Chains A and B, each alone.
Chain A
Amino acid sequence: MSLLESTEVCKRFSGITALDAVSVTVEPGEPVALIGPNGAGKTTFFNCLLGILRADRGRVTFNGRDITRLPVYKRARLGFGRTFQRVELFTGMTVRDHLLVAERSRLGTGRLWKDILNLAGPSAEERQRANHTLDLLGLLNVADEPIESLSLGRARLVELGRALMTEPLLLLLDEPSSGLDQSETMELVGTLQTVQRERGTAILLVEHDVEMVQAFASRLYVLDFGVIIASGPTGEVMDDEAVRKAYLGELV
Chain B
Amino acid sequence: MSDLLNYIILGIPFGCVFALVAVGLVLTYKTSGVFNLAFGAQAFVSAAVFYNTVTNHDWPLLPAFIVSVLIVAPLVGLILDRALYRYLRTAPAIAKLVTSIGLLIAIPEIVKLLPDFDFLQSSVFNPPTIWPNPFAYYHFGDYVLDGNQVATLISTGVAVLLLSVLFRYTTIGLQMRAVVESPRMTELAGINADRVSAFSWMLSSTFAGLAGVLLAPLFAQLAAPNFTILLIAAIAAAAFGRLTSIPLAFVGGILLGVAQGILGGYLPADSILANGLRPSLPFVVLFLLLLFWPGLRQRREIVDPLSGVDPPPPGLSAEQRMRLLTYTTWGLGIVVIAVGLYVALFVVSSFWLLIITKAVIFSLIFLSITVITGMAGQISLCQASFAAVGSFGTAQLAQRFDLPVLLTMVIGAAMAAIVGALLAVPALRLGGIFLALATLAFALMFESIFVPLDWVSGGVLPTKVPRPTFLESDRTFLLFALALLTVVAIGVILIRKGTTGRYLDALRGSETAATAIGINPARARVVAFALSAGIAGLGGGLLAIQENQANYSANFQVLLGLLWLVIVVTIGARTVEGAVQAGLAIAFVPEILKTLGLSPSYQFILFGLGAVTYAKHPEGILEFNKRKSLETVQRWLTRGKEPPGAEGGEVVPARPEPATIAAANPGGNR
Chain A residues within CB distance 8 Å of chain B: 43, 50, 52, 71-74, 76-77, 80-82, 84-93, 97, 100-102, 104-106, 108-112, 114-118, 120, 142, 144-152, 155, 159, 162-163, 165-166, 178-179
Pair A76/B647 contact, Cβ less than 8 Å: no
Contact for B518 among A87, A105, A114, CB less than 8 A: A105
Among A43, A108, A148, the most chain B Cβ lie within 10 Å of the Cβ of: A148
- Whether B349 is near chain A, meaning CB under 8 Å from some CB there, is no
The reply to whether A50 and B516 contact each other, CB–CB distance below 8 Å, is yes
Interface residue B654 (Cβ < 8 Å from any Cβ of A): yes
A73→B516 CA distance, assembly (Å): 6
Return chain A residues, CB-CB under 8 Å to B126: none
Contact in complex: A87, B645 (CB < 8 Å): no
B302 CB to nearest chain A CB (Å): 19
Please provide the chain B residues from 481 to 508 with a CB less than 8 Å away from any CB of chain A in the complex: 491, 494-495, 497-503, 505-506, 508
Determine if A116 and B495 form an interchain contact, defined as CB atoms under 8 angstroms apart.
yes
Residue positions of B touching A, CB distance < 8 A: 308, 311-316, 319-320, 491, 494-495, 497-503, 505-506, 508-510, 512-521, 527, 531, 645, 647, 649-657, 660-661, 664-665
Q: How far in angstroms is the closest Cβ of chain B from A124?
A: 17
A149 touches B664 (CB 8 A): no
**Is the Cβ of A110 less than 8 Å from the Cβ of B499?**
yes
Given A85-B664, A91-B509, A115-B494, are A101 and B656 also a contact pair (CB < 8 Å)? no
Q: Is A86 in contact with B513, judged by CB distance below 8 angstroms?
A: no
- Would you mind naming 22 contact pairs between A and B with Cβ atoms under 8 Å apart? A50-B516, A52-B512, A71-B515, A74-B518, A76-B516, A84-B513, A85-B660, A89-B513, A91-B312, A91-B315, A92-B312, A92-B505, A93-B502, A112-B531, A115-B494, A115-B498, A116-B494, A120-B498, A120-B500, A145-B645, A151-B649, A151-B652
A93 nearest CB across to chain B (Å): 6
CB-nearest residue of chain B relative to A156?
Answer: B656
Q: Once bound together, how far apart are the Cα atoms of A209 and B504, in whole Å?
A: 35
Query: Contacts A85-B660, A92-B313, A104-B499 given; 17 further ones with Cβ under 8 A?
Result: A52-B512, A73-B515, A73-B519, A76-B516, A88-B512, A88-B516, A93-B502, A109-B499, A110-B500, A110-B502, A115-B498, A116-B494, A120-B498, A146-B315, A148-B314, A155-B654, A179-B660
B502 touches A101 (CB 8 A): yes
A146 contacts which chain B residues (CB < 8 A)? 315, 320
Q: Is the CB of B650 within 8 A of A151?
A: yes
Q: How far is the CB of B418 from chain A (nearest CB, A)?
A: 15
Contacts of A76 in B (CB 8 A): 515-518
B652 touches A114 (CB 8 A): no
CB distance from B362 to the nearest CB of A (A): 23
With A87-B656, A89-B654 given, is the CB distance from A104 to B502 under 8 Å?
yes
**Set of chain A residues within 8 Å of B660, measured between Cβ atoms:** 85-86, 178-179
Chain A residue nearest to B528 in the complex (CB): A112
Contact of A92 among B311, B314, B491 (CB under 8 A): B314
Complex Cα gap A48–B237 (Å): 35
Given contacts A90-B513, A105-B517, A178-B656, contact A111 B499 (CB under 8 A): yes
Partner of A73, one of B313, B497, B518, B665: B518
- Which 9 A-B pairs have CB atoms at the shortest separation, nearest pair first? A110-B499, A115-B498, A90-B509, A120-B498, A92-B315, A76-B518, A88-B513, A91-B312, A88-B510
Q: Are A145 and B647 neighbours in the complex by a CB distance under 8 Å?
A: yes
Which residue on chain B has the smallest CB distance to residue A52? B512
Instruction: Please determine whether A105 and B519 come into contact, CB atoms closer than 8 angstroms.
Output: yes
- Residues on A with beta carbons closer than 8 Å to the beta carbon of B531: 112
| B654 CB contacts on chain A under 8 angstroms | 87, 89, 91, 147-148, 150, 155
Contact residue among A43, A102, A115 (Cβ-Cβ distance under 8 Å from B500): A115
A156–B650 CA distance with the chains assembled, in angstroms: 16
Chain A residue numbers with a CB within 8 Å of B312 are 91-92, 148
In the complex, what's the smallest C-beta–C-beta distance from B450 to chain A, in angstroms? 28
Q: How far is the CA of A71 from the CA of B514 in the complex (A)?
A: 13
By a CB distance below 8 angstroms, the chain B residues around A151 are 649-652
**Least Cβ distance of A138 to chain B in Å?**
14
Complex Cα spacing A216 to B320, Å: 40
**A93 touching B509 by the CB < 8 A rule?**
yes
Query: Do B499 and A114 touch across chains, with their CB atoms under 8 A apart?
Result: yes
**B316 and A89 within 8 A (CB):** no
Contacts of B508 in A (CB 8 A): 90-91
Q: In the complex where A89-B509, A97-B502, A110-B500 touch, is A72 in contact with B664 (Cβ < 8 A)?
A: no
Whether B503 and A110, one on each chain, are in contact in the complex, defined by CB atoms closer than 8 angstroms, is: yes
In Å, the complex CA distance between A120 and B651 comes to 32
Find chain A residues with CB under 8 A from B494 CB: 115-118, 120
A81 to B513, CA, bound (A): 10
Judge whether A86 and B313 touch: CB under 8 Å: no
From the candidates A50, A77, A86, A114, name the one contacting B308 in the complex (CB within 8 A). Answer: A86
Shortest Cβ gap from A113 to chain B (Å): 10
Choose from A80, A92, A152 the contact partner of B316 (Cβ within 8 Å). A92
Complex Cα distance A111/B515, Å?
Answer: 17
Counting chain B CB atoms within 10 Å of each CB, the highest count among A91, A102, A117, A155 belongs to A91
* Contact status of A179 and B513, CB under 8 A, knowing A93-B505, A111-B499, A112-B495: no
A84 and B503 form a contact (CB under 8 A): no
Answer whether A148 and B311 are a contact pair too, CB < 8 Å, given A76-B517, A87-B654, A91-B509: yes
**Complexed CA–CA distance, A166 and B262 (Å):** 58
B319, B506, B647: the one contacting A149 at CB < 8 Å is B647
Contacts of B501 in A (CB 8 A): 115
Residues of A within 8 A of B315 (CB): 91-93, 146
Does the CB pair A115–B655 fall under 8 Å? Answer: no
Contact in complex: A152, B656 (CB < 8 Å): yes
Say yes or no: A149-B499 contact (C-beta < 8 A), given A76-B516, A93-B505, A115-B494: no
List chain B residues, Cβ under 8 A from A117.
Answer: 494
- State A162–B527 Cα separation when bound (angstroms): 24
Residues of A within 8 Å of B495, CB to CB, are: 112, 115-116
Residues of A within 8 A of B656 (CB): 86-87, 152, 178-179
Question: Quick check: A86 and B664 within 8 Å, CB to CB?
Answer: yes
Report the separation of the CA atoms of residues A101 and B650 in the bound assembly, to the nearest whole angstrom: 27
A162 with B513: CB separation less than 8 A: yes
A54 nearest CB across to chain B (Å): 12
